[in-house]
Structure 1
Amino acid sequence: MTTAETNATPTRSQRLKAATSNTHDSLDKRIMAEDIFASRERFARFVRVQYRFHRDIQALYATPLLRALLPDLAQRQRLQQIVADLGDLQQDIPAETAAVIPDDIELPQALGWLYVAEGSNLGGTVLFKLAGKLGLGADFGASHLAAHPDGAARHWREFTASMDAITMSEAQEAAAIDAANAAFHTVRGYVEQEFA
């Protein structure tokens, strides 16, 4: 195989992006259709959506296998910042609901959910700038959207490089794709509930 052919082979994260792009784009459009930067009240509903999703995945950040495979995983969680943002916005914490992710989730599925979480962190940098129009920022109301000190793009590349390096079968990769799509659908459900 030539170098050009090798370079043309998409990485796992690139294949995940391609396989979930329709679901992801649909979710993005649905969120922006709610005009979440029209007021702090509307933005707060979006933060409630974020809380519900990050509460779903919180246990993944403490999983020993995932922490061994994905460096700095523990530092990537954002639930505490979201809780602080909800407090700033004078919002109650959404009520507990049944667990979406099973306790015995397998590695491919866990990677699919984390892929969505990390991707939202990268995309959050754009939302962070827009939140500034509402007087929100890293110190008040929008801390969970603030970029990592090393830069959002670099933080994302480090995550995807680690994920791409994990040995997986085609079936496992398909399971990761299914899980990522399930994560996007779950967030979509929370959008429908919070903006009903």
Structure 2
Amino acid sequence: MRPSDQEAPAMRAVTMPVTSPGQLPLSKQLKAGTRRDHDSVDTLVMQSRPFDSLERYGCFLRLQHRFHGSIGALYDDTELNRLLPGLSELPRFDAVCADITDLGLPLPPTPSAIAPTSIYAALGWLYCSEGSNLGAAFLFKHTRQIGMSAEKGARHLAAHPDGRGLHWHQFVALLDGLALSESQCEEAVSGAVAAFDCYREALRDVFPAT
């Protein structure tokens, strides 16, 4: 899952007080609170054998289309862009659509937008989405086995020219620069768990049983 081919924005942390003393940075709370969900989704993806054939890879692209299409509105949200400057330049839905077209497959209907329970829960959904780009390096390598590349069929998995790590550290710096209460951080973690649940449900629906 990767950002569009636009140049990555020069993201910078918003200048505001950090979380209360003794409270872990938001990114650490999100990581700890979703570790089991993250591992479960990773396992399910590989068990689905998305790189065994172009047919199964097409299923994977439909999965990506469903997830990224459902969260597209979050990247354009005014309040979220105030909290996370440069967010509007990061969605990967258009790249997923281009990858589907590369395979000669029809584009599925754009999925309904998800509705996080709060702006803080939305931060958790975005953490799930942007974090997946860091782990996509492993998936991108596998696409070469079926003839895909950053120019054809695997645009949304390819790294930005500036590198995955830099982009991720910039995004994390923005999250950790937010002044959130303990309950707001808990909402963010709940949102990230909901995002993993959504992806897991879509995966089971999109992929054939065998």
Task: Tell me the equivalent position of 1:69.
Answer: 83
The question of 1:122 aligning with 2:102 is answered: no
Q: CA deviation at 1:57?
A: 0.7
CA gap of 1:148–1:13, structure 2 versus 1, over 3 A, is: same
Whether contact under 8 Å (1:115, 1:180) holds in the other structure is: yes
RMSD across aligned positions (CA): 1.6
The unaligned stretches of length 5 or more in structure 2 are 1-21
Instruction: Report the CA distance between 1:95 and its aligned residue.
Output: 3.2
Look up the match of 1:149: 161
Q: Secondary structure at the match of 2:66?
A: helix
1:47-126 equivalence runs, <5 A: 47-101=61-115, 106-126=118-138
Q: Residue 56 of structure 1 contacts residue 101 of structure 1 at CA under 8 Å; is this kept in 2?
A: no
What letter corresponds to residue 155 of structure 1 in structure 2? H
What TM-score results when the alignment is normalised by the length of structure 2? 0.84
Query: Which amino acid in structure 1 is aligned with residue 57 of structure 2?
Result: F
Gaps of at least 5 residues in structure 1 are: 1-7
Distance (whole Å) between structure 1 residues aligned to residue 101 and residue 176 of structure 2: 37
Q: TM-score by structure 1 length?
A: 0.90
Does the residue aligned with 1:35 lie in a helix, a strand or coil?
A: coil
Q: What CA distance in whole angstroms lies between the structure 2 residues aligned with 1:128 and 1:74?
A: 24
- Which of the numbers 23, 32, 35 marks the counterpart of 2:49? 35
| Counterpart contact for 1:49–1:194, Cα < 8 Å | yes
Alignment equivalent of 1:131, drawn from 133, 143, 151: 143
More helix by share: 1
Higher RCO (CA < 8 A, seq sep 6+) = 2
Which deviations, in whole Å up to 9, do the C-alpha atoms of 1:123-175 show, x marking residues without a partner?
11211111111110111000000111211011000001001111111111111
Paired with 1:160 and 1:67, the residues of 2 have a C-alpha distance of: 15
Q: Match for residue 180 of structure 2? A: 168
Q: Please give the alpha-carbon distance, in whole angstroms, between the structure 2 residues aligned to 1:56 and 1:98.
A: 6
The one-letter amino acid paired with 2:43 is K
Offset at residue 9 of structure 1 (A):
6.7
Q: How far off its partner does 1:64 sit?
A: 1.4
Between the two proteins, the alignment pairs up a number of residues equal to: 187
Q: Which amino acid aligns with 1:144?
A: H
